Every structure is written in structure tokens, then in C-alpha cells.
Amino acid sequence: MAEALEDGPRGPKPKRTFSRRNIILYGTLIVIALYYLLPLYVMVVTSLKGMPEIRLGNVFAPPLEVTFQPWVKAWAEACTGLNCDGLSRGFWNSVRILIPSVVISIVIASINSYALANWKFKGSEIFFTILIFGAFIPYQVMIYPIVIILRELGLYTKLGGLVMVHTIFGMPILTLLFRNYFTSVPEELFKAARVDGAGFWGIYFRIMLPMSLPIFVVAIILQVTGIWNDFLFGVIYTKPDNYPMTVQLNNIVNSVQGIKEYNVNMAATILTGLVPLVIYFVSGKLFVRGIAAGAVKG
Amino acid sequence: MSSVSVKSLDLNFGDVKVLRNLNIEIEKGEFLVLLGSSGCGKSTLLNCIAGLLDVSDGQIFISGKNVTWLEPKDRDIGMVFQSYALYPQMTVEGNLSFGLKNQKMPAAEIQQRIKQASEILHIEPLLKRKPAQLSGGQRQRVAIGRALVRDVEVFLFDEPLSNLDAKLRAELRVEIKRLHQKLEDNTMIYVTHDQIEAMTLADRIAIMRDGAVLQLADPNTIYNKPANKYVAGFIGSPSINFMDGDLQAGGKKFVSNGVEIDLKRYEFASGPREGSACLGVRPEHINLGKATDKGLFEAQLTIDVVEPMGSDTLVWSKLGDQDFRFRVDGQTKLKTGDQQVVHFDPERVSIFDQDSELRI
Amino acid sequence: MATSQRPVQLFRNMSAKIAAIPMVLTALVIFVGCTIWTIVHSFTKSKLLPSTKWVGFDQYERLFSQNRWLISIENIAIYGICSLIFSLVIGFLLAAMLDQKIRFEDTFRTIFLYPFALSFIVTGLVWQWVLNPEFGIQSIVRGLGWESFVFDPLYDADLVIYGVLIAGLWQGTGLIMCLMLAGLRGIDEDIWKAARVDGIPTWKTYLLIVIPMMRPVFITTLVIIAAGIVKVYDLVVAQTNGGPGIASEVPAKYVYDYMFQNQNLGQGFAASTVMLVTVLIILIPWAYLEFGGKKQHG
């Protein structure tokens, strides 16, 4: 029973793919995207060139002769001070710092947030407020007294000390993240479990933990990136043998002695950035969720 | 000439067909309600008419003008949204005047229109307030006002009362009906999932399902002569009783579980016939007591559950092995386990084909 | 009448209290304790070791007579203001462009955000290399025939802080874009429809309706950027190490250098206390608006 259509416009409004609006919009986006990609490109091409080629050309020219020598040198031979075993030392130091820091900070923060969200006690909100305000205090105000505390505990310049510092300074954001998540769990569920006789730990392990795996992933992404990228705490609370990768990288690239080997420097820079970059590209939306959770107030 | 006409309209989102070959003609001054459960395409159709969605095929005419490719602002429409969509940082006056100012209309005329609209909607005292300081009902009045000042032929309402509580909803429903009576030259298209709103407001109702219109008729026809089983079940609360059975004796009687209903009085839509069918009878059409007339159908029921609601009482019972609901006056005393004789008039039932579900 | 004994207040909810011990210690000892310790010692004669010899405001007088500190403050002010304005503007424009129902939205977002996964050290080193006058942008433009072209922000004392700004914006605008995009997506879609029916042009809808509606997002973003600016340290260390001369020094670097290299703790304490005060000046009005206001509305 289709009625006869009349003349004139019918169906979708004709849209030109190359309308002025689209050209401006996509053009701008592409130019900006190129600008954002440029440094990554420069890093990669520089790291694949030999030094003579670098001296002749410019940073944007693609390599005429691809060489992986700078990568090998950056990983295994580059010198910082007396050590000449390359960035690999810093890499393994960072791994040794990263794993316990991530695990301990997340375990402590998640249990703490669970207590804050579901087992409120007198004063718990006050401590939480202090904790959140603490996130805004410049670290510089607290770093020296922490040196004294760590020295008293015998942890100064030890990896253990740095792990403790990461746990402390990761606590505000992680607690906020977990607390907001746990608060959103329906209270009826929690009450039902209590009626069924489950206690503090029973509810945590059997109900909260299995329900909150996504938020744990977000927390892990947040912490791995944050701790891997840390420089300030690494340089203050460790000694040269234990320097994390970022500190060692800076020492290699910005060392005053010798000629600058830009290709090695760039290879070292990529190597240091690789861990968070891989996490970023693999985790995709979860990363965005992590930083948004980190940034947006509860 | 129709005020709004939709011709062979299709809309696809990727592979999903959201609207299929819709043809609707709406008269000038008519109040048309698009009714259906969520996901049936009613809001989508409204958005297409408004020009907020690009159609995949077909044409839309408003006051005889082909508007298929026109922007919403050029379609001679005004629209009211479920979430009010008031501009939160502007006063009520600012909300009403924003679109007009943007058209570079002279200030004096803007003032004139705002005055007129706010009188009609009784929102004059609110003009200097911000939306946050208004109640839900007041906000929706302002939203209607924003459509009113545009001085357009067609008003589109997208579930305007769904965010309000029951009492306000009833109040504003009357208000909208009054508005329609006052603006008799304006066409109104109103989307809702609430059948009471549809029945009370509409000149005609279009019942939609899966992107198609199942029946387009006045409320009385929709209620008494539903075009198919879905419409029969959708309209009416408590919902219609269905009995599965067979048409026998050339369509003279309907047999279901040993119950025999004489169909001499039933008006067949497409002539009497035999075969498996489904009979629907509304709970309101069932009366207590013995049949007073030979043409009526009489049955004895066992009462299962009684739900008193004050003004009337809903009774759940069994007819054979099928659920059978009927409505009686609130003063009637019935209790579970009672045997009760009831009767209804076969003239008022609806019979549907078992396969096509269409009215027979 | 059998009355069960009321449990002692302190031992109620014991597990939760134990679980909260790390948070309580962090809040009290680190965030409150260490901060107060530093503030108190900023009024002492601490040199190589913390001392308790009270000297009043001497450290502050000396601090504000130091050319290096004054340059640091000037730099952070320029960096801060520019960074705030450009981050918000660029971040919002990028978000608005991505919000136009464009194709490849995920790809563009991934590109704009990836620098945020990188550390400031990596960011600083890359941009040090891209802005290198001998091989970078300057040499390319000269290579195109414009021999007198000069673009060496990292070697020009007047421009160096803008060189750091370029790197900082590259790293951070992706985050702002994400926050803004989340804000834009939170706007009721009916508002957009209403504006279209009213015939308001898109740019006007953004300017007069959407941006005012996003005020809370802007304020939160502002606080996040501001709190980050005060902490700027790694970026400068990696990109310029404060040079040329002392032209790109920043307060956080001043603190570190005086505490851990120049063995003048008192100066470090005073400088970090000034940083804290600056943060509080930003933070307290915000917290008052954000949380103080809410209480009145219940």
C-alpha cells in the first residue's frame, strides 16, 4: 500500500564527502595528529641511523642505512658514571621496584578503601579527607622528613624504601578509585552477606574482590605507568646502583662528558618509554578510564 | 491537504531496519499519538519528522512542502523533549527568546510572543527564574512555551510527561489537552508509551511495533476493534483475556476447552470462517450474574484471587484451565474459592487468526 | 531481663580499623607530620643537617633575594599561565572536534593521548632533540633556503621556558582532551536537539550553552592542571637542566638542588613551604566552592 512519492527531495540528504566542513575538520585533526606523532617518529628514525648520517642530515630524514647498533649500545654498553652496562641495569632495577610497589600499594589501598566504603568507623572520613588533600601537597614539602624516617628504618637508598614511598604516594588516588567503586556496589548485597554471617575478610574476598576485577586492572595500569615514569623519588631515595630506568636514562643522555651520541640517546629514550607505551596501546579504553578516574573527583 | 505526511519512509541504522515503509497522513489540527513499547521506533519517527535524523528513503511533507532535506529550524515545527532540555544557565525568558533572537526578530515582537505564550501556560511569574529553581511540571511548561513562541504549525512532543510523577503527569495531561483545544489550527504529534495519555489525548492513535504501524485509528476503534492480537493485548489495563480455540460450524461458534461461545452476534471483519483462532474479551466487558438474553455467553467460574482497588475490584479466576480476569464494582463482595456465574456479550469480543494474529 | 553487654567502643569494627592503619599513618605521619616538620624547619638555621636554631624569617628573606629563586618563580608563573590557557583551549577544541561524530575517533584519541603515557624525562629528552638547532626544526627550515631562520628556544634565555611549554603541552593536552570529551558526552543530547530546532548554529551552541553547562568540568580540570604545574621538575631536568645558565630554573628544582646538592636544607625547606602556600591559595577556594557549597544544599 505504498503511496506514490512526489517529485523533489527523497531519502537521505545528499552529503558530499568533501564538504568544506569535512575538509577543515579532518584536515585540522590530521595536521594535529601528525604533530603529536612527530616526536615518536623522530625518536625512531634517529635511533636507526648511524652518527655520520645524523651529522649530515636533519632529524626528520628517514634513515638511509638502517642500523640497530644504537639499540644494542643503549641497552648493554652505554655509560653512566662508572657503570658501563647500559640501560639494562636501570630496566631491571625498575622492574624490581615496580612489581612489589604495584602489588603492595594496590593490596593496601583496596583493603583500606573497602573499610572506608563499607565499614565506616568514627573518624574514617576525616582521615580520608586528609589523604585526598595530601594528593595536592607538593612532594617537595615532604621529601626531606621522609629521608629521615627511611634512614631511621634502615631503608634509605634501599629498594624497600622506594617501594614504601610509592605505596604512600599512590595511596590517595588508589583509595579514591577503589572507594568510589566499592561504594557503588549495592548495599543490599553487603547486608545480605552480613546476614549470612560473613565477616570483614569473608565479604572482601568472596564478594568484593571477584566483583571488582575491572577496577583492579585500572589500578594496575595507573600504578605501573606512574611508578615506571617516576623520576623524583627514584633520584632521591635510591643510590646509583639502584637507580630506576628514568634516572639512568637522564644520566646517560645529559652526561656532560664525551661526544653526544644522539642515536644511542634516542634508542635509550624509546626503550624507557616502551613499557608504558605498550601498556597504553594494549589497554586502550581501560587506560582512559584509569586516568579519568584519577583525575575526576569522587 | 494534509498538515504532515510521511511517505514510504525507511530508516536504517547500519543493517538494522528501524522504520519500515511508513505512510502516515496527518490532518491540520489533528492530535496524533504514536504509541508503542520502547524500541518500537516511535521516537525515531518523531525525530525524522523533526529533521533531527536523516531518513534512508521516502519523503516527509509539512504543510504541503517537501521538507525531507530541510534543517529542523526550517520545517515549521516546535519540539518538546522528555528531559525538558532547557538551557540551564538562562532564565525562563532567555529560554523562550533565545531561538527568536537568533532569527534576528525585533525585540518588541519577541516580547509580544513571550507574553502570549506565558499567559497561555500560566508561567508569567516564573519568567525571571532559572530552570534549576523550577519544579518538573513548571520546567515542562516552559519547554512547551519554547515551542509555542516559535509560532509554528506542527508541535512535536517526545514523551513529555515521562519524567514527572503520577500526579503532575495527570495535571499536565489535561493542560496539554486544553492547549490543543485552544490552538485548534495546530497539528500535534505526541510520542508516548503510556496508553492512558494516548487514549485521553489523541484524535487518532498509531500503534507501532518493530518500526511499523500496526493500527492507525481513533481511540475508540483501537480499544473496541483492535486490528491484531498485539494491539488488543497492548491496550487496556488490566489486559484483555485471550482464549485459544477453534472456529466451528462455519464461524457460528468458538470452541475452547469444552466451552462453546455462540458467535451469531459477532461482526466478522472479513467474513465468517472456520479454523484455529484466538478470542479476546476485555475484563471490563464481563458482568456478574446470569445471562439475561439468549445471545449472551454465560459461564461458571471459580474465583482465585481478589484485588480490591477502591473504585473497582479486579478478580482473577479460571475458565477451564485458562486465566480469566474480570472487573467488578468496588462494592461487590467476592472471596477466593467462591463459585460465580458471569456473562459477556459476544458482540464485544475480538477474534484473531492464530497464525497472522490479524483480526478476523 | 537479660541484657547483652555493649561491646567496648574501641574494639567495635576492629578489622576495619586495622585495615585502615596504613591510611591513618600516611595521613598523619606523612601528609600532616612531614609537612609541619618542614614548615617548622624552614624557620631554622638548618644547613647540612636539620637544626633547631630559630632564625625567624631569615631563610625567606634570603630566598627572595636570590636571583635564581626569582627567575624560578617568574618561569613557573609564565609556564603556569600559558599552560593553563593553552591546555584548556586546545584540550577543549580537540574534544569538540572529536565530538563531531567523526570517523576514526578512536584512532585520533589514541594519538592525542599517547604522550601522556610517557614520562616527563622521555618527553623532555625527545623535545630537546627535536628543538636541537643544529639538526632539528631550525636546520630544516634553513635547509629549505631560509638561511637566517632562527628557532632555538632551548638556547635562548628569553625563550627557553616556552620551549619547555611546548613539550609540556604535547605531553599533557591529551588528558585534558579526554576529560573535556567526557564532559561533552555528559551533556543531555536533547539540549543539542533543542538548539537545532531553535536554529542555533553549532559554534553558538557550544559557546553559549554547552561551555557554561560544563563549568564543573572546567573547574576540576583547572585544579588538576594547576596542581600539576607547581610540581614541574622532571621535564626541566631532562630538557634543559635549568639552562641556559639559570634561565629555565623552576621552584621544584631549586628545592631539590638546595636540599640534596648544595647542602643548604633551610633554603630548601623555605622554598618548598612557599610552594605549599601557593598550592593552598589555589586549593582552598576551590575546595570551599566544591564541598562547602554542597553542604548547604544537603
CB–CB of C197 and B77 under 8 A?
Answer: yes
Pairing of strands B65-66, B57-62: antiparallel
- Out of A1, A2, A10, the one facing B68 most closely (by C-beta) is A10
Q: What is the pLDDT of residue C295?
A: 47
Mark yes or no for CB contact A5/B69 under 8 Å: no
Q: Which residue has the higher pLDDT, B338 or A29?
A: A29
Of B345, B42, B2, whose CA–CA distance to B195 is shortest?
A: B42
For residues A160 and A56, which has the higher predicted lDDT (pLDDT)?
A: A160
Read off the pLDDT of each residue in B233-247 and give the average, rounded to a whole number: 91
Within 13 Å and on the Cβ side, how many CA atoms surround B152? 29
CB contact under 8 A, C23 and A281: no
Contact at CB, C200 and B98, closer than 8 angstroms: yes
Alpha-carbon distance values, A272 to A266, A268, B101, C126 (Å): 10, 6, 57, 12
Rounded CA-CA distance C250/C161 in Å is 10
Distance from the Cα of B7 to chain C's closest Cα (Å) equals 22
- Which of A231, A230, A219 has the alpha carbon at shortest distance from A176? A219
Size of interface B-C (CB pairs under 8 A): 62
Q: Is residue C1 in a domain? A: no
- Is there a domain that residue C197 lies in? yes
- Domain check: are A55 and A105 in the same one? no
Residue C198 and residue B71: Cβ atoms within 8 Å?
A: no
The verdict on A41 and A142 lying in the same domain is no
Which among A128, A138, A249 has a CA at the least distance from the CA of A178? A128
DSSP code at position B240: P
CATH of the domain at C88: 1.10.3720.10
The beta-carbon neighbor of C16 closest among A119, A235, A262 is A119
Please check the confidence at residue B226 and state whether its pLDDT lies above 60.
yes
Max CA pair span of chain C: 102
CB-based contact B71 C199, cutoff 8 Å: yes
Query: From the CA of A98, how many Å to the nearest CA of chain C?
Result: 15
Q: Is B188 helix (H, G, I), strand (E, B) or coil?
A: strand
Q: How far is B40 from chain C (nearest CA, A)?
A: 19
Per-position b or e across A165-194, b if 16+ CB within 10 A of its CB: bbbbbbbbbbbbbbbbbbeebeeeebeebe
- pLDDT of residue A16 exceeding 80, the answer is no
For every residue of B291-335, DSSP letters joined together read: -SSTTSEEEEEEEEEEEE-SSEEEEEEEETTEEEEEEEETT----
Residue C38 domain-assigned (yes or no): no
CA–CA separation, A205 vs C283, rounded Å?
37
**DSSP per-residue string spanning C166-230:** HHHHHHHHHHHHHHHHHHHHTS-HHHHHHHHHHT--HHHHIIIIIHHHTHHHHHHHHHHHHHHHH
State how far residue A4 is from chain C, nearest Cα, in angstroms: 29
A250 found inside a domain: no
Strands of the B253-256 sheet, one edge to the other: B259-262, B253-256, B241-248, B275-281, B350-353
Report pLDDT for C1. Answer: 46
Residue-wise pLDDT tens digits, A164-174:
999 999 999 89
Number of separate domains in chain A? 2
Are C193 and B77 in contact (CB < 8 Å)? no
Q: What is the pTM of this model?
A: 0.88
Subunits touching B (CB < 8 Å, at least 3 pairs)? A, C
Residues 178-197 of A with CB under 8 A from C: none
Architecture of domain B4-234: 3-Layer(aba) Sandwich (3.40)
How does pLDDT run across B127-161, given as a tens digit for each residue? 999 999 999 899 999 999 999 999 899 999 999 99
Mutation for testing the C interface, residue in A55, A130, A137 having most C CBs under 10 Å: A137
Low-confidence spans in chain C with pLDDT less than 70? 1-11, 292-298
* Packing angle, helices A285-295 and C160-185, rounded to 10: 100
Between chain A and chain B, the number of residue pairs with CB atoms below 8 A apart is: 39
pLDDT in tens, B193-217: 999 999 999 999 999 999 999 999 9
Helix (H, G, I), strand (E, B) or coil at A2: coil
CA distance C173 to C95: 10
A&C contacts, CB < 8 Å: 255
**Can you tell me the mean pLDDT for B50-58?**
92
* CA–CA distance, A228 with A273 (Å, rounded to integer): 9
- A9 in contact with B at a CB cutoff of 8 Å? yes
Amino acid identity, residue B258? G
Residue B213: what are its φ and ψ, rounded to 5°?
Answer: -90, 120
In degrees and rounded to multiples of 5, residue C87 shows phi and psi of: -60, -45
Q: What is the mean pLDDT of chain A?
A: 87
B333 pLDDT exceeds 70? yes
pLDDT of res. B186: 92
Residues 233-252 of A with CB under 8 A from C: 235-236, 246, 249-250
Cβ neighbour number for residue C22 with a 10 Å cutoff:
20
Whether C127 sits inside 8 A of A39 (CB atoms) is: yes
Please give the full DSSP string across C122-161, using - where no structure is assigned.
HHHHHHHHHT-TTTSHHHHHHHTT-TT----GGG-TTTHH
Same-domain pairing of A25 and A125:
no
The verdict on residue C12 lying in a domain is no
Q: How many domains does chain C have?
A: 1
Which segments within B185-296 are labelled E, that is strand? 187-192, 204-209, 212-217, 241-248, 253-256, 259-262, 275-281, 286-288
pLDDT value at residue B149? 93
3-state secondary structure of A83: strand
Calpha distance B223→B1 (Å, rounded): 28
Give percent above pLDDT 70 in chain A.
Answer: 95
Chain A residues touching B54 at Cβ < 8 A: 12-13
In-domain check, residue C96:
yes
DSSP for B52-121, please give it.
SS--SEEEEEETTEE-TTS-GGGTTEEEE-TT----TTS-HHHHHHHHHHHTT--HHHHHHHHHHHHHHH
- What is the reported pLDDT for A76? 86
CA angle, B226 then B227 then B228, to 5°: 95
- Does A40 share its domain with A117? no
Least confidently predicted of A103-107, A216-220, B282-286, C146-150: C146-150
Interface residues of B toward C, Cβ cutoff 8 Å, are: 47, 50-52, 71-74, 77-79, 81-89, 98-99, 102-103, 146, 150, 158
Sequence-separated contacts (24+) of A209-212 with Cβ below 8 Å: A211/A185, A212/A110, A212/A178, A212/A181, A212/A182, A212/A185
> CA-nearest residue of chain C to B96?
C198
> What three-state secondary structure class fits A192?
helix
Q: Give the SS3 label for residue A165.
A: helix
Chain B residues in contact with C195 (beta carbon < 8 A): 87
Section A187-197 average pLDDT: 88
Which A residues, 39 through 98, put their C-beta within 8 Å of a C-beta on chain C?
39-40, 42-43, 46, 54-55, 57-60
Predicted local distance difference test score (pLDDT) of residue B66: 92
Mutation for testing the C interface, residue in A30, A121, A140 having most C CBs under 10 Å: A140
pLDDT of residue B194: 93
pLDDT at A2 over 50: no
Query: Quick check: C32 and A171 CB within 8 A?
Result: no
| B80-110 pLDDT tens trace | 999 999 999 999 999 999 999 998 999 999 9
Q: What pLDDT is stored for residue A136 in this prediction?
A: 86
C98 contacts in A (CB within 8 Å)? 29
What are the tens digits of pLDDT across the range B254-301?
998 878 888 888 888 888 888 899 999 999 999 988 888 888 888 888
Task: Tell me if A283 sits within 8 A of A221, measured CB to CB.
Answer: yes
Burial class of residue B120 in the structure, from the number of CB atoms within 10 Å of its CB (0-12 exposed, 13-18 middle, 19+ buried): middle
What gap in Å lies between CA C39 and CA A46, rounded to an integer? 47
- B-chain residue closest to C212, CA distance: B89
Residue C70 in any domain: the answer is yes
- B276 CA to chain A: closest CA distance, Å? 28
Looking at residue B237, what is its pLDDT? 85
* Mean pLDDT, residues B313-330: 87
CB-CB under 8 Å, A36 with C170:
yes
Res C135: pLDDT? 82
Which chain B residues are within 8 Å of C204, Cβ to Cβ?
102
CATH class of B241-353: mainly beta
Q: Is A155 exposed, middle or buried (0-12, 13-18, 19+ CB in 10 A)?
A: middle
Contacts of C269 in chain A (CB under 8 A): 144
What CATH number is given to the structural domain containing A207? Answer: 1.10.3720.10
pLDDT at A291 over 90: no
| A188 CB within 8 Å of a chain B CB | no
Residue A51: is it exposed, middle or buried by C-beta count within 10 angstroms (0-12/13-18/19+)? Answer: middle
The structural domains of chain B, with segments of one domain joined by +, span 4-234, 241-353
Q: Are strands B4-13 and B259-262 parallel, antiparallel or unpaired?
A: unpaired
Query: Which phi and psi (to 5°) does residue C262 adopt?
Result: -85, 0
What is the pLDDT confidence band of residue A292, given thresholds at 50, 70 and 90? low
In a domain, C226, yes or no: yes
Question: For residue A66, what pLDDT is reported?
Answer: 87
Residue A50 lies in a domain: yes
Kindly state the average pLDDT of the residues A101-108: 95
Judged by a CB distance cut-off of 8 A, whether residue A12 touches chain B is: yes
Q: C291 or B164, which is more confident?
A: B164
Which among B51, B74, B81 has the least Cβ separation from residue C194?
A: B81
Q: For residues A194 and A239, state if they share a domain.
A: yes
Range of the domain at C73: 57-297
Nearest Cα to A237, choosing from A170, A149, A173? A149
Same domain, A101 and A175: yes
Question: What's the pLDDT score for residue C292?
Answer: 65
> Among the listed ranges A89-103, A250-264, A279-293, B273-287, which one has the minimum average pLDDT value?
A279-293
A282: its cell numbers: 594494549
B19 contacts B10 by C-beta, under 8 angstroms:
yes
Q: Which residues of chain A make contact with B51, given a CB cutoff of 8 A?
A: none
Distance CA A215, CA A182 (A): 10
The answer to whether residues A32 and A110 belong to one domain is no
Q: Assess if residue C28 is contained within a domain.
A: no
Q: State the DSSP H helix or E strand holding residue B8, giving kind and residue range, or none if neither.
A: strand B4-13
For residue range C157-178, list pLDDT tens digits in order. Answer: 889 999 999 999 999 999 899 9
Same domain? For A56 and A99 the reply is: no
Of A15-24, B163-172, C190-199, the one with minimum mean pLDDT is A15-24
Distance, in Å, from the CA atom of C84 to the CA atom of B276, rounded to the nearest integer, reads: 75
Question: Model confidence at A283, in pLDDT bands (50, 70, 90)?
Answer: confident
CB A276 within 8 A of CB C117: yes
Query: What pLDDT is attached to residue C297?
Result: 42
pLDDT cut 90: percent of chain A above it: 40
Q: Is residue A191 domain-shared with residue A53, that is, in the same domain?
A: no
Range of the domain at A288: 92-243+267-295
A3 in contact with B, Cβ within 8 Å? yes
